């Protein structure tokens, strides 16, 4: 999709100096958009500025398609006050745990009418945005969020090169004004023709991001003795066993049961886009793995070219080998921002999710956190999650009413 002159004339601020930030810079630059780049980390901002000045921009290499994109931000800063006031579109690509603090830093500088997108979004993002702008006179025009990132990508050289290992075929997007087309057109252009955005009706959809990475961790390390090091880091996706794939399937069944329960109780909430992990995988990567059984999650994951070779379990190096890193983002992001949210919603609408509860109990132990006490979402670290309970909600109908889901 090509952008029209009106869209091209809008200044875009990319927020986040990580893998996704690099691809967004390259992709927006190749579309001809004027870009600035914000990372609230001073050291990162200086490193990006230095790299950009000496190498003239960021190059993204899409390995599968064999194409490159190039973008060079006009300004880089660690100070939101330098860049946010002139932004007309703000694209935030940060780990979920960084979204709330960064949105609070950005909000006072946002000029009225600015479009804010969080790519990818996360559960309760609408609550976070509402709270960030509470008491401020200026309001964003529209805000939107995608379910995930279009790409699997990794930085090769900071501020210079980033590799794209695969592009998803579809993703979902939710927009605060469902009639607005700008956000979808922009994201469609950024993702490119190989990927199709489907618009979903409710921000509550973001709470249904599937339980995924923690199941891989559980499957790989649940029997680890906590001492013996590994000779090398195991492959993250391709080493998955059938029983781990079955566990992912079973937890996804529980998430669908949660969705059904909410819709039974509140039929006006449209969660029709929430699907099973197997169907998500089929839609997202199916065409890239033509020789695999598209009803077999295990076969699809192990054969997916986007998951090959470079993607390893995060490990910590020790003198005689490697031990699992239980503070990696796969857990610190997915447990408090996905799995605990499922359990929190389940508690609010009165259903049990025994498999998910078991996984969270294992994860909180290895992470040194406490989200659950006797299966209830009331551990000492609930404030670090996106459970509606953190924001004072224990009654689902009040939560849904306040957030406009009903």
What does the binding site for ligand NAD look like in residue numbers (CB under 6 A)?
Answer: 16-21, 39-41, 44, 93-96, 98, 101-102, 120, 148-149, 152-153, 329, 333
d(CA 395, CA 130): 19
| Pair 85, 111: CB distance under 8 Å | yes
Query: Residues 18, 19, 21, CA angle at the centre, nearest 5°?
Result: 65
Shortest distance (Å) from residue 332 CB to ligand NAD:
10
Query: What is the smallest separation between the CB atom of 95 and ligand NAD, expressed in angstroms?
Result: 4
289 or 400: whose CB is closer to ligand NAD? 289
CB of 223 to ligand NAD, least distance (A): 26
Q: What is the nearest approach in angstroms of ligand NAD to the Cβ of residue 46? A: 12
Closer Cβ to ligand NAD, 96 or 206, answer by number? 96
Compare residues 152 and 366 and give the one whose CB is closer to ligand NAD: 152
In 10 A of CB 231, how many CB atoms?
Answer: 8
Cα(143)–Cα(137) distance, integer angstroms = 16
Residue nearest to ligand NAD (CB): 18
Closest distance of CB 111 from ligand NAD, Å: 22
Least distance to ligand NAD, CB of residue 167, Å:
11
Counting every residue written for the chain, the total comes to 406
Tell me the C-alpha distance between 211 and 255, whole Å. Answer: 8
C-alpha distances in Å from residue 318, one per residue of 224, 227, 282, 327: 16, 11, 38, 16
Which is closer to ligand NAD, CB of 23 or CB of 400? 23
User: SS3 sequence, 75-127?
Assistant: EEECCHHHHHHHCCEEEECCCHHHHHHHHHHHHHHCCCCCEEEECCCCCCHHH
Nearer to ligand NAD, 60 or 400 (CB): 60
Looking at beta carbons only, is 98 or 312 nearer to ligand NAD?
98
Complete edge-to-edge strand list for the sheet that includes strand 75-77: 75-77, 34-38, 11-15, 89-92, 115-118, 143-146, 170-175, 196-199
Angle, nearest 10°, between helix axes 242-265 and 340-349? 40
The nearer residue to ligand NAD, 39 or 172, going by C-beta atoms, is 39
- As measured in angstroms, the least distance from the Cβ of 148 to ligand NAD is 5
């Amino acid at each position: 999709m090509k952008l029209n002159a009106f869209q091209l004339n809008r200044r875009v601020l990319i927020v986040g100096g990580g893998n996704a930030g690099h691809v967004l810079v390259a992709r927006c630059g190749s579309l001809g958009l004027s870009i600035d780049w914000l990372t609230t980390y001073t050291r990162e901002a200086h490193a990006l500025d230095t790299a950009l000045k000496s190498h003239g921009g960021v190059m993204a290499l899409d390995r599968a398609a064999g194409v490159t994109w190039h973008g060079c931000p006009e300004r880089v800063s660690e100070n939101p006050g330098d860049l946010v006031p002139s932004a007309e579109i703000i694209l935030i690509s940060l780990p979920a745990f960084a979204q709330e603090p960064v949105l609070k830093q950005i909000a006072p500088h946002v000029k009225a009418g600015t479009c804010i997108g969080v790519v990818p979004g996360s559960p309760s993002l609408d609550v976070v945005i509402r709270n960030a702008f509470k008491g401020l006179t200026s309001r964003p025009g529209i805000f939107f969020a995608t379910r995930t990132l279009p790409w699997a990508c990794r930085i090769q050289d900071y501020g210079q090169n980033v590799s794209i290992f695969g592009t998803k075929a579809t993703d979902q997007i939710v927009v605060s004004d469902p009639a607005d087309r700008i956000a979808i057109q922009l994201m469609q252009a950024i993702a490119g023709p190989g990927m199709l955005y489907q618009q979903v009706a409710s921000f509550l959809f973001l709470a249904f991001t599937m339980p995924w990475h923690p199941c891989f961790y559980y499957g790989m390390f649940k029997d680890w003795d906590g001492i013996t090091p590994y000779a090398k880091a195991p492959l993250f996706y391709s080493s998955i066993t059938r029983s781990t794939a079955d566990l992912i399937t079973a937890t996804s069944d529980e998430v669908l049961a949660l969705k059904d329960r909410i819709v039974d109780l509140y039929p006006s909430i449209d969660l029709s886009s929430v699907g099973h992990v197997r169907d998500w995988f089929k839609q997202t990567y199916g065409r890239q793995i033509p020789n695999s059984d598209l009803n077999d999650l295990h076969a699809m994951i192990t054969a997916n070219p986007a998951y090959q070779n470079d993607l390893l379990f995060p490990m910590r190096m020790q003198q005689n080998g490697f031990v699992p890193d239980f503070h990696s983002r796969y857990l610190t992001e997915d447990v408090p921002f996905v799995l605990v949210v499922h359990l929190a919603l389940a508690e609010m609408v009165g259903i049990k999710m025994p498999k998910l509860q078991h996984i969270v109990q294992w994860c909180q132990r290895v992470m040194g956190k406490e989200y659950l006490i006797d299966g209830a979402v009331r551990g000492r670290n609930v404030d670090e999650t996106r459970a509606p309970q953190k924001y004072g909600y224990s009654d689902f109908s009040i939560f849904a009413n306040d957030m406009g889901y009903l």
